[in-house]
Every structure is written in C-alpha cells, then in structure tokens.
Chains A and B, each alone.
Chain A
Amino acid sequence: MAAIENTSAAKPAATRPNWLVRDLVGLAVILAVAAIGYFLFPNNLALLTRILGVALLVLSIDLVTGFCGVATLGHAALFGAGAYASGIAAVHFGITDPLLMVVVGAIGGALAGIVSGAVILRGHGLAQLVLSIAVVHLFHEAANKASAYTGGSDGLSGISPDPIFGMFAFDLWGRTAYGFAVALVAIAFVVLRLITRSPFGMLCRGIKEDPIRIRAMGASVQGTLLKMYVISGAVAGVGGALNAISTQVVGLDSLSFTLSAEALVMLVLGGTGSLYGALIGTVSFMWFEDFVSAANPFHWLTIVGALLIAVVLFAPRGLYGSAQTLLDRFRGDGK
C-alpha cells in the first residue's frame, strides 16, 4: 500500500516536466522549420507568410472542431472579421501600428466568434454545419454591402502598417512580415497548448466525448463552447490581421466559404485535436497546392483531390495522427 501511494504521489512531478519538455521541443521544431523555409525559399517569403496566416485560421478551427467536436464550414467568417477589423482600423482610423492592428484583429475575430458561435451552437450535427455555412455567407454579404468601409468587391486597399516597434519596416521582400508571422504563430501555438491543457481545456475535451456526462457534473455545455468560440475567434482574427498587414489589402475572399472549407480540409489532412496536425496540414496542403499548380496548371486540382482522397482513406487520423499511431505501435513492439 505504501509503495502504491509513493508512486501515485511521485507521478505529477514526473509527468509535468514531460509535457513541458515536449512543448518546448515542438516550439523549437516550429522555429527550425521556419528558419529552414526562410533560407530555402528566400524569394517566396510572401507565400510562406500567407501559409502562416492561414495556419492561424486552421489552429482556430482545431480549437472548436478538434477539441470540442463542433463541426464548422464557416470559420473564415472569424478570419475575415479580423482582417477587415485591422484593415479598417488602419485605413479609416489611422491605427497603423502593426501590434495594435493585431490586437484590433483579435478583438474583431472574437466578436465574430460570439456572433457566429451564438448561431452555430443552436444546432447539432448537420444543422450545425448548415448554420455555419449560412453565417459565413452572411458575413461575406455584409462586407460586400458595407463597401464604404470595406471597399466591397474591389477589396480594402491602402493599408500601410508602421515599422514594428518603430524599427523594423515592412520591406519589399517580405522579410519583416515573415518574421512577424513566425513570431505570431509561435506565440499562438504556446498559448493554445496551455489553454488546451488547462481546466477549461479539459472541460472542452469532456464535452466532445460526452456532453451528457458534462451536464451531470454540473457544467454548462453551451457556455463553455461559446467561450471556446471567442478564443478561437481571437486566434483566427490574429491570422486575418496578419494577412491584412502582410499583403496590405483585404479582399472578400478572406470571408469566403471556399476558404472555410479549404481550411477544414487542411485540418483533417493534418489531423485534429493536437494543434501540431493543424500546422502540418496547412503547410503540406498549401505547399503542395502551390507546387502542383506551378508544375501542372491544368490538372492540379485533380491531383490535390486525389491526394486528399488518399489521405482520408489510408490515413484517416490525418498526417500527424497517423504518424503518431505508427510511432506508438513501433514503441509498443519494441517493449
């Protein structure tokens, strides 16, 4: 008995550094891959920056879909809300400090998260999916109609952000923008890892696995999900703001159903519920799309489609999830 008590008391001390170390390794890998990208594709930094902006959107979908089990095909509404919020702040209100623009984007995304969450969470399953599609169309239409602010279908242009900290100006090659993007994604990743492991994160996982049990424990399912939607909106909004800052325009495509659907595909490709899968899925999908569309401009969509079918059929848990399963099996055999 005493021996059992000893091991169970020692456990937390042993497991805690374990996940801390793992997250630090994860962060180091992200930064290393970012650095490799910088040196391998110095003429393609604009694409890499765009990938990182979308990666924030895909991370934010992972929060509600991977961790809470909410299906959505309308998450670009939150991304686009962030992009327009920071773009409008810059063009119409003279808020051109990039850090402030990111904050405005996060707030815009969070507000959009409250609105769309309040609608989408009323439904379940298929109804939820349909509501999410309706929401992104409504956001799209609203941005189109409010052309005095958004530039309508011409897009919102004339965004010229100040240098970061007054020192690092956004250059023609996109070096500053890339560094800024890497920093935002790295910070978001660390913060989200902490959130998903927090008491609140545990509650979300519980809701995904059995909402009836969660209610029987006295917790509110709707309130918790809405809160996650707000956090998710802030993350997507940061992605949108990053996109506005780095490209200096915001178009209606940032609020589109197409972007929503593609982002969900990227998440499924990488694997849900780990955050790593979201990053891996975004990078592989967008890199592959860019590579294939350049190599074969006529059939690239067919090739991307075929790749997706292959992944969903042969690696249903996504690239990261399947790799992890393989690794676990390998380790299990080794024992």
Chain B
Amino acid sequence: MSAVFQVENLKKSFGGLAVTQDVSITMNPGDRVALIGPNGAGKTTFVNLVTGHLEPDSGKVMLGGNDVTSLGPTPRVRQGLVRSFQVTRLFPDMTPEEHLALAVMQRTGRTGRIFGHYHSMPDVMAEVAELLRTLGLDHIATRKVSEIAYGQQRLLEIALALALKPKVLLLDEPAAGVPQSDTPRIEAALAGLPSDLAVLMIEHDMDLVFRFAKRVIVLAAGAIIFDGSPEDVTKDARVREAYLGSYANDRSAA
C-alpha cells in the first residue's frame, strides 16, 4: 500500500525552544491514528507545520507522493490535506448552513461565481443538509454562529472539515469544549468517515482515543517517544514518565 501522507525529519524551533524535533510520520489510506502528548508537547505545531500554516526549519512533507513542503496552505488543501482547529475558527456573522455551503462550493470550484446563490444549487443544499444532520446541527442551521453554543461551534468545525472531502484529515482536539452529551455525535461522525480516508486525531480524552485509534503516537517535548498499538501505549515506561511528569507539573501549577 502506498503512503498517502508522509512527514520526514520535520524540525522547528521558536527562538531557542525546539518544538518539533526530527518528527517522521507515515500514514496510509484508512489509517486511524491518535496523536497524544502532554500540554505544550508540540502537537498543534506539528499540524501547523504539515498544513503549511507554519514553515519548518527543515524536513519534508509529502502528499500522495508529491512533495508539498514549499507550498502554502491553500494548494495543500486542494490536494486533500484538511485540518480542524483546536480553538474554533469560524465566521461569527455567518450561519452554519452558510459555512458548509461555502466549503462545498469551494471544493467543487464554484466560489468564483459572482452571480447566483447556493439556495439554487440542489446538490450543495443536499450535501449541506446531510452534514448538518450528521452532526445534529440542523435545528440551528440558520442562526448566526456568534449566537450558538461553543459545543455546537466545535461540531461545525468538524462538519466544515468533512465538507472538504479530504484524503488526509488532521483533527486538533475535536472533542475539546464539547459537552459530554454531544461527544456521541462526534464519535458517530468519526465512525462514519470514509474508510479510505487517513485520519490523525489529537485528543486528550483517552476513552475517545482508545475507541477510535488503531495506532497511537506519543509526542513529548517535540519528539516522538512512542508509535504503536493502543494496547502497548499504557505499558510503555517512557510514556508513563512523560505523562506523570506533566501531571505533576499541573498539580504544582494549580
């Protein structure tokens, strides 16, 4: 099977702080990977680097065999690399329906049109309705995003990523900020993802990680300290040390 997503020896420092240290990850179609690690481990930075929102100091990012390291975020998305944001990034004055319609029209090459409206594009309307239903957002489809609950905004953030029909999907803590009652929606959406899609999910909720992932990667202080099966991750001494360390730090900070 040929890799759909390949990161080789990625490095990045902010000032003197090495936030990404020689990170290499390969993913195949259909992979379900969880990327975990203590706060500040460099997980979001990794996503920013591979999606082109940040420039790496060195290393290579390949998508379906093409080197995309020198490309900006936009062409990478067009090649199927889509991310969600840890802190929701939405348009406060637009409705969920408008968000999704915009994403679907963008994917299908229709956002250049200066006349017309998505209401008169039946395929867009149908796809938007389907996405809204999947994430349980249909009852607030035409409310402004600034007026809906944060948990619902998180669900919309995921719907937006799905609307772009990615080949590789990077989800940065999709369940963070979602009320417990809504996490089943997220899990259902994750479970319903196309089977040939490669998904990497950053997540702190270990229950969710164990239900979702077939492979777990642990990042600590910018370096990969574990890459293997979910069964082995809890037994790994270095992982436990990294996590215990961070818990101890959390305690003393609190």
Give me the interface of A with B, judged by CB distance under 8 Å: 4-5, 8-9, 11-12, 15-16, 194-195, 197-203, 205-206, 209-210, 212-213, 215-221, 224, 227, 231
Is the pair B115, A219 in contact by a Cβ cutoff of 8 Å? no
Residues of B within 8 A of A220 (CB): 74
Q: B238 on the interface (CB 8 Å rule)?
A: no
A209, B92: Cβ atoms under 8 Å?
Answer: yes
B114-139 contact mask (Cβ, 8 Å, vs A): 1 or 0: 11111110000100010011000011
Q: Is the CB of B72 within 8 A of A216?
A: no
Q: Are A212 and B53 in contact (CB under 8 A)?
A: yes
* Interface size grouping (class) on chain B: 35 or more
Residues from chain A with Cβ under 8 Å of B73 in the complex: 215-216
Choose among B53, B113, B114, B160 the residue with the greatest number of A CB atoms under 10 Å from its CB: B114
Q: Mark B51-75, 1 if CB is under 8 A from A, else 0.
A: 1010000000000000000001110
A-B contact pairs, 20 of them (CB 8 A): A5-B129, A8-B129, A12-B125, A16-B117, A16-B119, A194-B114, A194-B115, A199-B102, A202-B105, A205-B93, A205-B94, A206-B102, A209-B92, A210-B90, A212-B53, A213-B91, A215-B72, A217-B160, A218-B82, A219-B74
Min Cβ gap B119→A in Å is 4
A202 CB, nearest partner CB in chain B, Å? 5
Please provide the chain B residues from 2 to 59 with a CB less than 8 Å away from any CB of chain A in the complex: 51, 53
Q: Given A12-B119, A218-B164, 10 more contacts at CB 8 Å? A: A9-B129, A11-B142, A15-B142, A201-B114, A206-B94, A209-B94, A210-B89, A215-B77, A217-B164, A231-B114
- A194 contacts which chain B residues (CB < 8 A)? 114-115
Q: Is the CB of A217 within 8 A of B103?
A: yes
Residues A218 and B78 in contact, CB atoms below 8 Å apart:
yes
Cβ B112 vs Cβ A199 within 8 A: yes
When chains A and B are docked, how far (Å) is the Cα of A220 from the Cα of B73? 9
A200's partner among B83, B85, B112, B164 (CB-CB below 8 A) is B112
Contacts of B164 in A (CB 8 A): 217-218
Q: How far apart are B205's CB and chain A's nearest CB, in angstroms?
A: 23
Q: Are B118 and A199 in touch, CB under 8 angstroms?
A: yes
* Per-residue A-contact encoding for B96-120, CB less than 8 Å = 1, 0 else: 0010011101110011111111111
Residue of A nearest to B93 (CB): A209
Q: How far is the CA of A202 from the CA of B117 in the complex (A)?
A: 9
Closest to A194 in B: B115
Question: If the complex has contacts A15-B119, A215-B73, are A203 and B102 also in contact, measured as CB distance less than 8 A?
Answer: yes
Supposing A8-B132, A11-B141, A16-B119 touch, asked if A203 and B106 sit within 8 A by C-beta, the answer is yes
A17 to B133, CA, bound (A): 25
Q: Are A217 and B115 in contact (CB under 8 A)?
A: no
Shortest C-beta distance, B226 to chain A (Å), equals 29
Out of A9, A198, A213, name the residue touching B89 (CB < 8 Å). A213
Residues of A within 8 A of B142 (CB): 11, 15
Whether A8 contacts B141 in the complex (CB less than 8 A), given A199-B102, A199-B113, comes out as yes
The complex places the Cα of A205 from the Cα of B98 at a distance, in Å, of 11
Determine whether the beta carbon of A217 is less than 8 Å from that of B77.
yes
Do residues A210 and B91 form an inter-chain contact, with CB atoms below 8 A?
A: yes
Interface residues of B in 152-170 (CB under 8 A from A): 160, 164
Set of chain B residues within 8 Å of A213, measured between Cβ atoms: 85, 89-91
Contact B119 A202 (CB under 8 A): no
**A277 vs chain B, min Cβ distance (A):** 15
Tell which of A11, A16, A202, A221 has the most Cβ of chain B within 10 Å: A202
Determine the chain B residues whose CB is within 8 A of the CB of A200 once the complex forms: 111-114
Do A195 and B114 touch (CB < 8 A)?
yes
- A219 contact set on B, CB distance < 8 A: 74, 106, 111
Interface contact B83-A216, CB-CB below 8 Å = yes
Given A4-B138, A209-B94: A216 touches B51 (CB 8 Å cut-off):
yes
CB distance from A303 to the nearest CB of B (A): 35
CA distance in complex: A262, B141 (Å): 40
Please, which residue of chain A has its CB at the minimum distance from the CB of B78?
A218
Query: Given contacts A212-B89, A216-B83, A218-B107, are A198 and B113 in contact (CB under 8 A)?
Result: yes
CA distance A140 to B111 in the complex (A): 35
